[in-house]
Amino acid sequence: MHLETRTLAPLLAALCLGGCYSPVRLDSHYTTPPPPHDNTVYVGTARPVRQQPLIKCMVYLESVQDQRTDKSSMGNIAGREIDADDMVQWLDSGLDTLSASGFRIDKATATDDQVVVDVALLKAYMISMGLSKSANMVVRITYKRPDGSTLATQVYRGVDTSVDWTAGEGEMNTAFQRATKQMLDQVDTDLDGYCKSSSRVTFLEEHESARLGLEKGARKR
């Protein structure tokens, strides 16, 4: 039986009420997205042992600010508006994950052995494009020496474009997680370089080398 478009449209609209166009909410804190599927075949119960990362340098997170011109709009996914309570919390928790790469993040007080960073969120939005969605994160970071002099100012963009399966909250959050992760990976690389340009990093490297030497010496006894 053939249904005319003018008959089918009101039916679809009625089915969508309360579901298709209700807002979706971004999580308050960033969570690192799972890595791509691991196809490695392990023998028996053997699994790779994750080593504790060496301390690259101390990082003082001086400020994280939301400088978007419109803080109330995060775009939409297939017509569903995206709500987010506090993007500063999301970004702040994302920066915390840099500790996994060996950066010791401090938010309390600045000391002479730290690289100082100021972070500004410039854009955070999602757009729908046919059957696809695109999550976008843009931040500006100013890197400074402990004395307050500027090392550099960089702008970073993270983008995740993927198929829009159900316009659901879960896939929307995953897309923003991937976009944020892509941006954080760029920050990780640059921060490593700026740490090495700080005069106090040599002290940290020597301290870490001495610690490892003492541990090796203790194991030999």
Give 185's pLDDT tier (boundaries 50, 70, 90). very high
Q: Is residue 57's pLDDT more than 70? A: yes
What whole-number percentage of the chain has pLDDT above 90?
49
Q: Is residue 13's pLDDT more than 50? A: no
Write out pLDDT tens, residues 187-210. Answer: 999 999 888 776 444 444 444 555
Q: Say which residue, 8 or 30, is predicted with more confidence.
A: 30
Burial class (CB in 10 A: 0-12, 13-18, 19+), 57: buried
d(Cα 29, Cα 51) in Å, to the nearest integer? 26
The reported pLDDT for the residue numbered 209 is 52
Spell out the domain ranges in the chain.
54-220
Q: pTM of the full predicted structure?
A: 0.75
d(Cα 60, Cα 38) in Å, to the nearest integer? 35
Cβ-contact 135, 126 below 8 angstroms: yes
- Per-residue tokens: 62: 């001086």
Strands (DSSP E) found in the chain: 24-25, 57-66, 76-77, 80-83, 103-106, 114-129, 132-144, 150-163
The reported pLDDT for the residue numbered 112 is 74
Q: Is residue 49's pLDDT more than 80? A: no
Write out pLDDT tens, residues 64-102. Answer: 999 999 888 899 998 899 999 899 999 999 999 999 999
Q: Say which residue, 123 or 51, is predicted with more confidence.
A: 123
Domain covering 54-220 assigned CATH 3.40.50.720 in the classification:
no
Give 212's pLDDT tier (boundaries 50, 70, 90). low
Average model confidence (pLDDT) for the chain?
Answer: 80
Alpha helices in 17-48 (DSSP H): none
Q: Is residue 9's pLDDT more than 50? A: no
Write out pLDDT tens, residues 140-172. Answer: 999 998 888 999 999 999 999 999 898 899 999
Give 11's pLDDT tier (boundaries 50, 70, 90). very low
